[in-house]
């Protein structure tokens, strides 16, 4: 498909800053109406994760599934507790452009509207992820030059659409394999590690102010994968590629939270980038017991303390809100109960622990 056709289909011409904000307002008004106004006012005075984090100049965020925003209790918790949100899936390339040129921004716009109507930061997740590309890209047999042009075009379109709306992007997600080698796939195989700088530069060209991150897991302790990411940030900085931050996903097992975390955060920050915990959860072998929930609470406290120990750690985000909708049970059978709210949306011991860590 030629570039002009992609641009027109992507809606770039109608979705610049003012238009998307206007669309966002309309969706928000329709979806929430004035009903949210009163509870929000009341909650502003009470303790919440976001108010506790704000005392220390941090945000507290959560990943959001727009399909669940229709549930009043989910919506209420998302608005009351969190000052930043990340779409769990809605901004991923495979959902935004499932077929070439067939852009679908509905779910992503819905999350953007929700964030705006609640005064929350919006974290864009994610632009490129080798493991979860749309099938037409993964199977596309593009030449390196064509793939480079496609990356530049796609990244440019998505970042421009949310210019001034998304405050930070996970530009590249999970570039490394667990052994510290590069994650293989069509991007790496065609372009080598250059695909990362290509994407960063395209994102910067589309929004000069959005913070540009690389997001990775299993780098929260010392080891080959941490070294690989560290060296990548060093080399991107050295080459002048625009890299502003490192996101540590932090999918942990309660009781095995890496004690290296504060040191790892400090090492990245010392390279001159922001750091943040992007996808925190602490899974427990089911059924959870009062002991395992207490252990989990201490681990949540440790993660918040770790972030607070590093000036450039800008905030903490959990990967979901309540245990009812977490990705954990389906990906790690036998595990669950990983978040701060239980299946009924009630705060768990970890909730109080996280808040008290910010307030001490
Ligand atoms: O929406 C479709 C639905 O239409 C279809 O019928 C169904 C059939 O499989 O799939 C649905 O999409 C699923 C989607 O979640 C929404 O539920 C995808 O198959 C499934 O792969 C997708 O999983 C997501 C995964 O990333 C891959 O994109 C998880 O929800 C999401 O929690 C997970 O999040 C990742 C972060 O992005 C990166 N770090 C790790 C983290 C956990 O894996």
What CATH number does residue 305 fall under?
3.20.20.80
pLDDT confidence of residue 2:
56
Strand pairing category for 121-129 and 168-173: parallel
pLDDT digits (tens, 9 = 90+) for 40-57: 444 445 899 999 999 999
Q: Rounded to whole angstroms, how far apart are CA atoms 275 and 283?
A: 23
Domain containing residue 6: 2-359
pLDDT of residue 230 exceeding 50, the answer is: yes
Q: Which positions ≥6 away from 77 have C-beta within 8 Å?
A: 321, 322, 341, 345
How far is CA 331 from each of CA 283, 327, 356, rounded to the nearest angstrom? 11, 6, 31
Q: Rounded to whole angstroms, how far apart are CA atoms 209 and 152?
A: 18
pLDDT of residue 16 exceeding 70, the answer is: no
134 DSSP assignment: -
pLDDT of residue 161 exceeding 90, the answer is: yes
Q: What share of the chain is helix, strand, coil (3-state, %, to 5)?
A: 50, 20, 30
pTM: 0.91
Answer whether 305's CB lies under 8 Å from 73's CB: no
pLDDT digits (tens, 9 = 90+) for 104-159: 999 999 999 999 999 999 999 999 999 999 999 999 999 999 999 999 999 999 99
Looking at ligand 1, which atom is closest to the CA of residue 95? 1
pLDDT of residue 196 exceeding 80, the answer is: yes
How remote is the CA of residue 92 from the centroid of ligand 1, in Å? Answer: 10
pLDDT confidence of residue 43:
43
* Closest Cα to atom 27 of ligand 1: 132
pLDDT of residue 335 exceeding 70, the answer is: yes
pLDDT digits (tens, 9 = 90+) for 90-102: 999 999 999 999 9
Which residues are annotated as catalytic?
Answer: 174, 279
Q: Which positions ≥6 away from 235 have C-beta within 8 Å?
A: none
Establish whether residue 95 lines the binding site of ligand 1, counting it when its CB lies within 6 angstroms of any ligand atom. Answer: no
Q: Rounded to whole angstroms, how far apart are CA atoms 84 and 116?
A: 10
pLDDT of residue 19 exceeding 80, the answer is: no
Establish whether residue 170 lines the binding site of ligand 1, counting it when its CB lies within 6 angstroms of any ligand atom. Answer: no
pLDDT band at 30 (very low <50, low <70, confident <90, very high): very low
Looking at ligand 1, which atom is closest to the CA of residue 327? 32
Establish whether residue 317 lines the binding site of ligand 1, counting it when its CB lies within 6 angstroms of any ligand atom. Answer: no
pLDDT of residue 257 exceeding 90, the answer is: yes
* Closest Cα to atom 42 of ligand 1: 327
pLDDT of residue 21 exceeding 50, the answer is: no
pLDDT confidence of residue 45:
56
How far is CA 342 from each of CA 75, 274, 336, 357, rounded to the nearest angstrom? 15, 31, 10, 20
Q: Rounded to whole angstroms, how far apart are CA atoms 23 and 44?
A: 26
How remote is the CA of residue 88 from the centroid of ligand 1, in Å? Answer: 8
pLDDT confidence of residue 343:
97
Q: How many angstroms from the chain centroid is the CA of residue 250? A: 12
Query: Number of C-alpha atoms within 13 angstroms, CB side, residue 261?
Result: 26
Q: How many angstroms from the chain centroid is the CA of residue 273? A: 17
How remote is the CA of residue 89 from the centroid of ligand 1, in Å? Answer: 6
Q: How many angstroms from the chain centroid is the CA of residue 101? A: 25
Q: Which of 89, 170, 280 to mutate to test the pocket of ligand 1 (most atoms within 8 A of CB)?
A: 89
Domains in the chain, number: 1
Establish whether residue 89 lines the binding site of ligand 1, counting it when its CB lies within 6 angstroms of any ligand atom. Answer: yes
pLDDT confidence of residue 26:
32
How remote is the CA of residue 41 from the centroid of ligand 1, in Å? Answer: 34
How far is CA 96 from each of CA 18, 99, 157, rounded to the nearest angstrom? 21, 9, 11
pLDDT confidence of residue 46:
80
Looking at ligand 1, which atom is closest to the CA of residue 63? 32
Establish whether residue 130 lines the binding site of ligand 1, counting it when its CB lies within 6 angstroms of any ligand atom. Answer: no
How remote is the CA of residue 327 from the centroid of ligand 1, in Å? Answer: 8
Mean pLDDT of the chain: 91
More confident residue, 327 or 19: 327
pLDDT of residue 33 exceeding 90, the answer is: no
More confident residue, 281 or 31: 281
């Amino acid at each position: 498909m030629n570039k002009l056709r992609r641009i027109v289909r992507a809606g770039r011409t109608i979705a610049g800053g003012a238009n998307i904000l206007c669309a966002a307002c309309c969706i928000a008004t329709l979806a929430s109406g004035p009903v949210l106004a009163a509870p929000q006012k009341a909650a502003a005075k009470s303790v919440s994760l976001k108010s506790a984090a704000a005392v220390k100049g941090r945000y507290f965020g959560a990943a959001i599934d727009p399909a669940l925003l229709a549930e009043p209790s989910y919506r209420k918790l998302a608005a009351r507790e969190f000052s930043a949100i990340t779409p769990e899936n809605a901004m991923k390339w495979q959902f935004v452009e499932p077929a070439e040129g067939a852009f679908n921004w509905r779910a992503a716009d819905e999350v953007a509207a929700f964030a705006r109507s609640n005064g929350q930061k919006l974290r864009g997740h994610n632009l490129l992820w080798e493991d979860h590309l749309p099938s037409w890209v993964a199977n596309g047999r593009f030449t390196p030059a064509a793939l480079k042009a496609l990356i530049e075009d796609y990244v440019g379109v998505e970042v421009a659409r949310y210019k001034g709306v998304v405050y930070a992007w996970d530009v590249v997600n999970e570039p490394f394999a667990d052994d510290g080698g590069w994650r293989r796939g069509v991007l790496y195989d065609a372009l080598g590690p250059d695909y990362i700088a290509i994407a960063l530069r395209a994102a910067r060209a589309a929004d000069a102010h959005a913070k540009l991150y690389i997001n990775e897991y299993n780098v929260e302790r010392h080891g080959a994968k941490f070294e690989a990411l560290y060296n990548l940030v060093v080399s991107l900085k050295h080459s002048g590629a625009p890299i502003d931050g490192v996101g540590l996903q932090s999918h942990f097992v309660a009781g095995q939270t890496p004690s290296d975390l504060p040191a790892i955060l400090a090492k990245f920050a010392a390279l001159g980038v922001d750091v943040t915990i992007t996808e925190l959860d602490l899974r427990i072998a089911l059924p959870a017991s009062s002991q395992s929930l207490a252990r989990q609470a201490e681990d949540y406290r440790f993660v918040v303390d770790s972030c607070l120990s590093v000036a450039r750690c800008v905030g903490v985000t959990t990967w979901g809100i309540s245990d009812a909708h977490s990705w954990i049970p389906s990906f790690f059978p036998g595990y669950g109960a990983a978040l701060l709210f239980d299946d009924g949306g009630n705060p768990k011991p970890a909730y109080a622990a996280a808040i008290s860590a910010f307030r001490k």
